Structure 1
Amino acid sequence: MNKQVWIEKALGLGIQEFEIYQSTTVEKEMTWFQGQMDTLVSSKVTGTSIRGIVDGKMANMALEEIDDSMCETVLKSLIEQAHIISNEETDSLRKPEPIEYVKKDVTWNMASTEYVKNILQSLEAKILAYDPRVIQVGYLGYSQAVEVAVL
């Protein structure tokens, strides 16, 4: 997504104020059932949120898949959405503020599938061994998500 193209197009279509926010989420989810991995879901999704002010009315949209060929269509939908708003109050976006980047010496790593598989297998075995009346573990799962702001 070429953000400058989107901003210029938005202003050209009459959107008085416009902002774009993007973030990427990386997720891993596993479930374990009766001694084996039941599901494994791994995803990486970049979400884009746009909002703009048209005639004093704020409209916003959230999109997962976006490219520059969609620019005019999406922006016209945003304008249409703003015209539907019946609120009498005038909206405005906050002015951009300086961003202070903080460098952290901590790196979070996604746990490997094999590591999680071993942990879930071990947990199931311990639960089943805890009491002979436990004959089945109904649900055992792992989920991890990391969100990275793209701005």
Structure 2
Amino acid sequence: MTDRLTDRQLECLRLSATMTDKDIGRHLGISHHTVNLHIREAVRRLGASSRKAALRRLTCDPLYGSEVMAVRPDAALDRPAPGDPDDDTENANPTTAGAWLLPPPPRPSLRPGLILVFAAVAALITVGIVSVVSGAVVALAPLAPPAAILTQD
């Protein structure tokens, strides 16, 4: 370790063992972006590759060892820190990772099928009406008076 951590960096890193960046920000009265910045800088200064590794280095360092963790270090370090870029649980199956569930996939739409059925029924009804009317005209034509039938000359 080349640089000593600031009090704020140490506090943010220590709280990251049990809290998310947003929770730490609310607790300390700062933005979660600022919390992330402090933690990234602390990880960089400690020469670690992740929050988890940085927390382990803090527990082993006599400079920070006595004041670092308010909880048992082994309990906090068994799982990835919230928001840790190396944390793979965010990309895991949502049903097993405890994440929110995605909506079910869309079902095939019935609309095109219903439109085709209604169009076919409408066509049959139209053909039926036209055939009934034309049949009635053909049947009633001989009964019409001769003056009612127009012919072209």
Flag whether TM exceeds 0.5 (same fold). Answer: no
Q: Per chain length, whose mean CA-contact separation is higher, i.e. which structure has more relative contact order (CA < 8 Å, sep 6+)?
A: 1
Higher helix share: 2
- Structure showing the higher strand proportion among its residues: 1
- Shorter-chain TM-score range: under 0.3
Question: Highest CA radius of gyration, 1 or 2?
Answer: 2
- Normalized against structure 2, the TM-score is what? 0.15
